Structure 1
Amino acid sequence: MEKKISLFLLIFFSILSFAQKTVSGKITDQDGVAIPSASVTVEEPGKDAILAYAITNSKGEYKVSFTSAEPNVDLKVKAFNQRPLTKQISNSDQTLNFNMEGEATEIKEVQLKTKLITARGDTIAYDLKAFDSKSDRTLADVMKKIPGIEVNTDGTILYQGNAINKFYVNGKDLMEGGYGTINNSLPKDAVQKVEVLENHQPVKILQDKVPSDQAAINIKLKNSVTMTGRGEVGTGFGDPWLWNVKLTPMFFGQKSQWVVNYKTNNMGEQVENEGNILAFGSGWEGRRINAAQNDWLNVETASTPNTPVKRYLMNNVHYLSANYLTNIDNKKEWELKANANYTNNAVEREDYRETTYQNGAKVINSTRNNFYTDKVKGELIFTKNAKKGFFKNTTSFSQFWNGDRAVAVREGRTGNESVESPTSSFQNSLSTIIPWKEKMVNFKSFINYQDDRQTLQISPANYMQIPFKVSADSIGRINFAPGSIAEQRFRLKTLDTSHSANISFSTKGWTFTPQIGFDFSSDKLDTNFDGLAIPSDPGDIQPDFNTPAYENSLRFTEINPNASVGVNYKSESWSLFANFPVNFNNIKADDDLRGVSKSLNRTTFTPNIFAQYTFASFWKASVNGNISNNFGDIQSAYAGYMLLSPTGFNVMDPKNPIPQTTTSSAGSRIEYRNPLNNLFFNVNYSLSDSKRNLLGAPILDPTTGFTLMQYRDQENHSKSNRLSVEVGKYFPKFKTNASVSYGNTTSISDAFLDDEEFKNKNNSQTYGFKLNNTYFSWMSVDYNMSFSRTKQDSRGGTLGINKGYNHNLALFFYPIENHTIGFNWDQVNTTNGTNKYNNPFYDISYQFSWAKKKVDFEIKWMNVGNRRVFETYDLDGQFNAIRYTRIQLRPSQVMFTVKFNFK
């Protein structure tokens, strides 16, 4: 590992050492008048390759940095109505001014050609038409093909491997991070270009003061006022009758924007997550969270396969959302945003598993689930984002009425399981930045209150056969009375608050921000368990569930006064931001029911730093490091037994201290993006070490698969290092975008099982390749491939080596104008030793486009081979087991769909 780090740092600093050649100066005409927007390029003599480039500003000034091993380079200057000039210069730092001679340009024929990719400052613009194919209809269809940009399966957009921090349409942030709806439903024909705003600081008053390492996406529409949207209505043949409806009208104006979205289907398309927050903006804007339940209690859950969701999702979903933005002042500085969504979803899932433990014991179980989701969310946001001040207040409310069901069969026994889980959640986030002379004052406040109620029932209770630690060296088993019902009740009230104030001083590119803050959180946990246990065998026990040992009445409080100093620097080449916080942690866990009282008082220093250097126009190099502390939460402090799952009880020893985790991490990154030759790549390396004071020590009954989870007071570590490389290039001549990627991750963690301490080591390697081509007028192709190899070593040596191969091939043929024939092939293979399972899926489609009305008529046959189950092997390092899984899939189905644009 040390060799890898040394090699990477050697390459990193070698590149920096060659990146010190800078040429700057001023470009003027014959009269000495500055020439703006002149291009200055540096090339190696005799080679038609641009090393670096710059554009002069309004004063005619330029500055260009480059890297070359040649003793001399060519510097070329071009400007409209000026005679181009070329001068060979030495490979050294220097200042050069140029006077250009006027030269009238005779335009014989005017042809407007849009460049595929253009760059200006920190903005890279992509012409959407250069990357789309005849089969593409929405923005998301095309975004996946743009070099340097990826779209994950959950809809998250990545630029150069990192998530974006904002998603704008015509410069406005309507969706506040939940951009999946627009990305999936905005017609590509409404879009002029996609802009990537590199190093984007969304808070205007902080621009040029507080740098950012994240990029943003701005969708520039063809018209400043646009009424558009996308709709689909489909029906299909299957069991049951199938439907798919999508209606998403949109309006984007200069003063207001809105999107209304209704989607419903039962044919396996996951639309309910479109409203999830995928971009979280800047921490100066306050806090943004995806409201979620505290899911402590769970039924046994069937596995999901590593395939596209549409292959296995048995759903019946209705999702309705509305987003509205309007300016409420004449200067268009103040914005009001109102967002709301409602989800009603029912999902079925089924699997079969064979788990083989290292001692040869095999446990067979199957699970059939029904998951019911019923939730509503509303949000109101007031924002002022101007050069002279910032204000943002976000108020949101969420309500869940969820329920889960399971029928589980384990070693011939059947259990009916259910969880009811209503939850109420409220958040308010406020942040304001006020200019004060040459300084800035920032106040932030965040309040979150949540009330979770959950009830888990298992019937009959004797389905469970849970191991139990009778004494230090004796293990028994709990047997429940036949026909009885086991019930675990749970309630958790959570209050989190965070308040801070800071003042910023700026001078010569540096910004210093001292801050004081006060964080407070309080959790109140109440639980109890009902059940009837009976003795059966001599080794079994008969616990009394009415004792305090099976109840919790715990209050967990955290008080954290804190102080920090932020340091930021921004120049043409360098970006630096660092924070040096000191936290005064005061934590208490009190349970009067059993006389338990724990406390922790500790002062921690948790610095973090990021530095980025931009050089030679196309290169960026960065390093980062941080230390963080986590002192656990109420989920790791309760002392009464809780049945979190029907597979076994969880308990914390009252004598154990409050959990503590200290994580140290560091990383480096080299990035290259050249819009002149359409080449993008990045190399990342990171390592981390997490030190904990508590070690999980489960008691496993390998004959049944049930467990008792407990913890030891013992220092343990979890270490990992990761290397990733991605290279992408667009070939305009062949209308082809291709990329390759590689990742290598090694993790080592301490583990404990069956009174034996050991280490789990996991090494995984991944290889990826993506290609899309629209060269032929009669065909387009999209191909994604990934190969993975995972090796796990545990206490008994090598647990196994898993290999996985996935690919997706999408072919579209256009034999006649307005007619499209599609073929889709998903392949998922898994291999473990001599066990190999191949899972192919095929779809075919035919589409007729009524071009004049922009309406498509499609008939699609999915899962042509009617593959009903998915088979795979995987490794379980925690329990030293190999698991074979067979999962129920969607059957073959045929859909007829009408697709159209709104206007």
Structure 2
Amino acid sequence: MKKILSLLFALAFSLIVFAQKTVTGIITDADGKALASASVTIEEPGKNAILAYGISNAKGEYKVSFTSAESNLDLKIKAFNQKPITQSIKNDDQKLNFSLDSQATEIQEVRLKTKLITKKGDTISYDLKSFENKNDRTLADVLKKIPGIEVNKDGTVLYQGEAINKFYVNGKDLMEGGYGTINNSLPKDAVSKVEVLENHQPVSILRDKVPSEQAALNIKLKKSVTMTGRGEIGAGFSPLLWNVKLTPMFFGQKNQWVINYKANNNGESVEKEGNLLSFGSRWEGRRSQTTQKSWTSVETAGIPDVPEKRYLLNNVHFVSANLLTSPFKNKEWELKANVNYTNNDIERDSHTKTAYDNIEANGDLAGRTLEQSRSNDFYTNAAKAELIFTKNAKKGFFKNTTTWNGFWNADRGLSSLDTNITTQPNIFGNQSLESPSGSFQNSLSTIIPWKDKLINVMSYVKYQKDKQTMEVNPGSYTDYFTSLSSPGLYDTYRQAALSETLEVNHSASVGFTFKKLTIIPEIGINMNFNNLKSVLSGSSNGNYYTLAGNYQNDVDWNELTPYTQVSLNYKSDKLNMNLTLPVNYYSIKYQDNLYNQLADKTKTALEPTFFASYDFASFFKYWVFANQSYDFGNFGFLYGGNILSSAGNISRRYVSDLNNSKMPEYLSRNIGTRLEYRNPLNNLFFNVRYNYGTVKRNIAETFDTEGGIGGTIGIEALENSTRSQSESAEIGKYFPKFKSNISTSFTNTDANSFSFFNGNFIESKNNIQTWTAKFNNAYFSWLSVDYNISMNWRNSKNATQSTSQKSSGWNHNLSAYIYPSENHTFGFNWDNSVTSTQGNTYKNPFYDISYQYTWVKRKIDFEFKWLNITNKKVYETVAVNIDRGNTVTQSYKIRPSQFMFTVKFNFK
């Protein structure tokens, strides 16, 4: 490990210190006046490739850094109405001044040609039209084709493999992280270019003082005032299908708004557009995606690893509204209001066949094969309202965010188990869960300049209440899996749980700036108060009785963490550094009010974080990351009474020697490095990464079966350490001449883990390798092709029992569109997913075809689509669980063949 890190740092140091050379100087005209905006390029002799470039400033000054093995290079200078200069220079640091002679040129014809990619400072601009094909309609369609940018399945936009921290439209952040709606519904024809803002610090007053490691996107529209949007209305059959999307948008200089209504039953989870995909800067306060606290759940059918349009059986209605306005004459103040509501019904079915190895650790399951079928209905009702008041100016910052979330969800489950034993009949269980929840949170952050200092005050308050009630009928279904106190006595089991959480965080800091160094000392206090009450009862003849024994809970988990920290920030044109040194004083109290357990955990912990980036040779950037952190568990980690965590599992988070200070304590250490190359002149991007992490634990989780595939979940006091190491590389290039974008990546990950299974302590080691490739081509006016492929190889080892298992899989997607004329488009789509292990291979191909007629004058599309034309009804996979010694074959119900007719249009 040390040798690898030493080699990486030595390589980086040699690149930075020994390979980089710099040429500086002043450019003037024949009269000795400074020439601004003159371009300076460095090229290797005889090669039509630019190594580095620079632009002279208003004083005529220029600076170009480059890396080359050649002894001599060509320096070229060009400026409007000046005679170009080409001069051979030595590959060395030097200062060269130039005087250009006037050269007036009579222009007979002017042709404007937009550059595909341009770079100015930390901003890289992409001309959107250069990357689109004829079948693209929205911003998201084109973003996926831009080199250096990726779009995840959940809609998150990545740049150089890292999530962006902001998504602007004309420089304004209307969506506050929930940018999926705009990304999926903004017509591409309204966009002029996409800007990547590297090292973006969202808080204006901190931009020259506190560096950022993340990038942001700014969508530049063609007009400063734009009324636009996208709509779709569709219907189909097998069964009766429908799809409605209506998303009008307005982007002005003072006001912006987006109204969105989407509903369908054709397998598209439009409700995800309400998710937060980016979280900005910590100086803006605290925002997070609110989720329900889950103590119990129905047994859930699995989902296959294919696009959700293949398997999602839904009936969803999602409505949202987002507004941004400047309520005062001072446009620095902005008011934002965001609301959304989801009503959704999802059906899901799967079948699992589990074949256990004939080993002693499997106990009664050794050599047996169990088959289980699960069916679900998930009913979701969720609402969110958010009000944000902000001022983001160079002379001050203020942001207050108030958020309310409500959930009224209901889940249904039906499970059946076949033990493949003639004397044991099949076992069936009906399950229902009601889970209302409510959450309120308010976040405040303000930065006030005082003389040469910056004073920051932050406050965060959150209250959340979760209630869950699950019933399992008949009770014999649960009795088969678990060891309840009175098996066979009850018709139905009911698990009820109620939890409340109050979180309060306050902090204050002062920033001192000395040239390029900013020092920020900070003090604060984090408080967290939690309570859990639960009870498991059984029904007999319509009457419910609390189970005797440890089947109730009344637990308090309270945390008080005052802290102090110093943050050192250095920012220059080339080098960005941040070192944060927090000292946290943890005080955690766990109290079980029913079983007389009381434990305190106090610890003073240093948890530093560090990152640095250095730009060199014009197009290279080198990153280093490191951090250390502690985890002392959280609310729900410990409770002394049993909880029916699912219809087939009993959970009890209890440590026998808890009173001997065996509270959870995890120590995590991580280090990473990354080398990036971003050259917009030749449309080439690549990055190489290395990450290493360790986690030292004093507790391991346990699982004991009770004669079936369910059992008892618990924890055991046992020292164990895990580690993970990953290496990855990614490269992408756009070929303008062929209108092709090609990218590929490879990742290798090694990790180990520990678990207790049926009383056996097991160490697992896994090696996972993943290769992906992406290809887009629109060279021919009559054809466009998009192709994506991902392959993975896994080698799992049970180090305790000296067993191992290899598995592999791959999936790909091919989309091809033929344009015989301006009005007609024929499409073909081919998805395929393959999993393989122990000689078992399952292939899952899907084929779609489409036809689209475009009314060009009105920009309206009429589309007919036939999905899953082979009418494949089951998706199958196979996997091995090396810890539990079994092979699992899964089959999932997917959507049948279906036909859709859709009308698509822009609002303007």
Cα distance change, pair 69–234 in 1 and its aligned pair in 2 (3 A): same
Give the counterpart letter for 1:760 in structure 2.
S
Q: Deviations over 1:167-211 (max 9, x none)?
A: 000000000000000000000000001111111111100011111
Q: Deviations over 1:587-618 (max 9, x none)?
A: 00112221111110100000000011100110
Residue in 1 aligned with 2:559?
A: 558
Residue in 2 aligned with 1:784?
A: 788
- The normalised TM-score by structure 1 is 0.96
Within 5 Å, which residues of 2 pair with 1:26-41?
26-41=26-41
Q: Deviations over 1:465-496 (max 9, x none)?
A: 3666xxxxxxx676632661111110110011
Within 5 Å, which residues of 2 pair with 1:307-326?
307-326=306-325
Residue in 2 aligned with 1:402?
A: 409
**Distance apart, 1:162 and its partner CA:** 0.5
| Matched-pair contact (CA < 8 Å) for 2:481–2:709 | no
Residue in 2 aligned with 1:538?
A: none
| Matched-pair contact (CA < 8 Å) for 1:81–1:105 | yes
**Whole-angstrom distance in 2 between the partners of 1:645 and 1:280:** 33
Match for residue 763 of structure 1 among 764, 767, 771: 767
SS at match of 1:883: strand
Residue in 2 aligned with 1:102?
A: 102
What is the identity percentage for the equivalent residue pairs of Structure 1 and Structure 2?
Answer: 54
**Distance apart, 1:122 and its partner CA:** 0.7
**Distance apart, 1:50 and its partner CA:** 1.0
Residue in 2 aligned with 1:694?
A: 699
Residue in 1 aligned with 2:510?
A: 503
**Whole-angstrom distance in 1 between the partners of 2:609 and 2:652:** 35
Within 5 Å, which residues of 2 pair with 1:127-146?
127-146=127-146
Residue in 2 aligned with 1:774?
A: 778
Residue in 2 aligned with 1:420?
A: 434
Q: Deviations over 1:850-887 (max 9, x none)?
A: 00111000000000000000000122244232210000
Give the counterpart letter for 1:500 in structure 2.
S
Residue in 2 aligned with 1:710?
A: 714
| Matched-pair contact (CA < 8 Å) for 1:481–1:532 | no
The reply on whether 1:441 has 2:455 as its aligned counterpart is yes
**Whole-angstrom distance in 2 between the partners of 1:707 and 1:11:** 52
**Distance apart, 1:514 and its partner CA:** 0.3
**Distance apart, 1:64 and its partner CA:** 1.4
Residue in 2 aligned with 1:388?
A: 395
SS at match of 1:137: coil
Match for residue 382 of structure 2 among 369, 375, 388: 375
SS at match of 2:821: coil
Residue in 2 aligned with 1:628?
A: 629
Residue in 2 aligned with 1:826?
A: 831
Residue in 1 aligned with 2:271?
A: 272
Give the counterpart letter for 1:521 in structure 2.
N
Give the counterpart letter for 1:850 in structure 2.
W
The reply on whether 1:329 has 2:328 as its aligned counterpart is yes
**Whole-angstrom distance in 1 between the partners of 2:467 and 2:883:** 30
The reply on whether 1:430 has 2:437 as its aligned counterpart is no
Q: Deviations over 1:627-649 (max 9, x none)?
A: 01111012112111111111211
- More displaced 10-residue stretch of structure 1: 795-804 or 869-878: 795-804
Give the counterpart letter for 2:93 in structure 1.
D
Residue in 1 aligned with 2:758?
A: 754
The reply on whether 1:663 has 2:668 as its aligned counterpart is yes
**Distance apart, 1:93 and its partner CA:** 1.8
| Matched-pair contact (CA < 8 Å) for 1:807–1:826 | yes
Within 5 Å, which residues of 2 pair with 1:86-97?
86-97=86-97
Q: Deviations over 1:823-845 (max 9, x none)?
A: 00000011112100000001000
SS at match of 1:154: coil
The reply on whether 1:208 has 2:180 as its aligned counterpart is no
Within 5 Å, which residues of 2 pair with 1:288-367?
288-359=287-358, 360-367=367-374
**Whole-angstrom distance in 1 between the partners of 2:295 and 2:19:** 53
**Distance apart, 1:362 and its partner CA:** 1.9
**Distance apart, 1:749 and its partner CA:** 1.4
Q: Deviations over 1:302-330 (max 9, x none)?
A: 01000000000000000000000011222
**Distance apart, 1:711 and its partner CA:** 1.1
Give the counterpart letter for 2:273 in structure 1.
E
Residue in 1 aligned with 2:740?
A: 736
Residue in 1 aligned with 2:587?
A: 586
Residue in 2 aligned with 1:170?
A: 170
Q: Deviations over 1:659-686 (max 9, x none)?
A: 1111000000000010000000111110
Q: Deviations over 1:76-125 (max 9, x none)?
A: 11111111112222222222222222221321210011011111111111
**Whole-angstrom distance in 2 between the partners of 1:99 and 1:26:** 8
Residue in 2 aligned with 1:902?
A: 907
**Whole-angstrom distance in 1 between the partners of 2:96 and 2:815:** 53
Q: Deviations over 1:532-588 (max 9, x none)?
A: 79xxxxxxxxxx954461111111100000000001001111000110000000000
Residue in 1 aligned with 2:286?
A: 287
SS at match of 1:897: strand
SS at match of 1:200: coil
Within 5 Å, which residues of 2 pair with 1:147-166?
147-166=147-166
| Matched-pair contact (CA < 8 Å) for 1:667–1:685 | yes
SS at match of 1:267: coil
CA RMSD of aligned residues (A): 1.6
| Matched-pair contact (CA < 8 Å) for 2:762–2:883 | no
Give the counterpart letter for 1:819 in structure 2.
H
Give the counterpart letter for 1:401 in structure 2.
W
Give the counterpart letter for 1:444 in structure 2.
M
Residue in 2 aligned with 1:70?
A: 70
Residue in 1 aligned with 2:527?
A: 520
Q: Deviations over 1:20-44 (max 9, x none)?
A: 3122222222233222211111112
| Matched-pair contact (CA < 8 Å) for 2:481–2:708 | no
**Whole-angstrom distance in 2 between the partners of 1:710 and 1:56:** 67
Match for residue 895 of structure 2 among 890, 893, 903: 890
**Distance apart, 1:526 and its partner CA:** 0.5
Residue in 2 aligned with 1:639?
A: 640
**Whole-angstrom distance in 1 between the partners of 2:494 and 2:78:** 79
Match for residue 491 of structure 2 among 484, 496, 502: 484
| Matched-pair contact (CA < 8 Å) for 1:698–1:753 | yes
Cα distance change, pair 896–479 in 1 and its aligned pair in 2 (3 A): farther
| Matched-pair contact (CA < 8 Å) for 2:167–2:218 | yes
- The normalised TM-score by structure 2 is 0.96
**Whole-angstrom distance in 2 between the partners of 1:863 and 1:6:** 53
Which runs of 5 or more residues in structure 1 are unaligned?
469-475, 534-543
**Distance apart, 1:229 and its partner CA:** 0.2
Give the counterpart letter for 2:444 in structure 1.
L
Residue in 2 aligned with 1:595?
A: 596
- More displaced 10-residue stretch of structure 1: 496-505 or 872-881: 872-881
| Matched-pair contact (CA < 8 Å) for 2:435–2:468 | yes
Within 5 Å, which residues of 2 pair with 1:193-232?
193-232=193-232
**Whole-angstrom distance in 2 between the partners of 1:641 and 1:634:** 16
**Whole-angstrom distance in 2 between the partners of 1:289 and 1:513:** 25
Give the counterpart letter for 2:97 in structure 1.
N
**Whole-angstrom distance in 2 between the partners of 1:144 and 1:669:** 23
Residue in 2 aligned with 1:881?
A: 886
**Whole-angstrom distance in 1 between the partners of 2:692 and 2:190:** 44
Cα distance change, pair 19–276 in 1 and its aligned pair in 2 (3 A): farther
| Matched-pair contact (CA < 8 Å) for 1:799–1:880 | no
Residue in 1 aligned with 2:478?
A: 464
Give the counterpart letter for 1:451 in structure 2.
K
Residue in 2 aligned with 1:817?
A: 822
Residue in 2 aligned with 1:115?
A: 115
Give the counterpart letter for 1:791 in structure 2.
N
Residue in 1 aligned with 2:874?
A: 869
SS at match of 2:590: strand
Residue in 1 aligned with 2:550?
A: 549
| Matched-pair contact (CA < 8 Å) for 1:466–1:479 | no
| Matched-pair contact (CA < 8 Å) for 1:465–1:478 | no
Cα distance change, pair 690–141 in 1 and its aligned pair in 2 (3 A): same
**Whole-angstrom distance in 2 between the partners of 1:34 and 1:498:** 54
Match for residue 848 of structure 1 among 849, 853, 866: 853
Give the counterpart letter for 1:153 in structure 2.
K
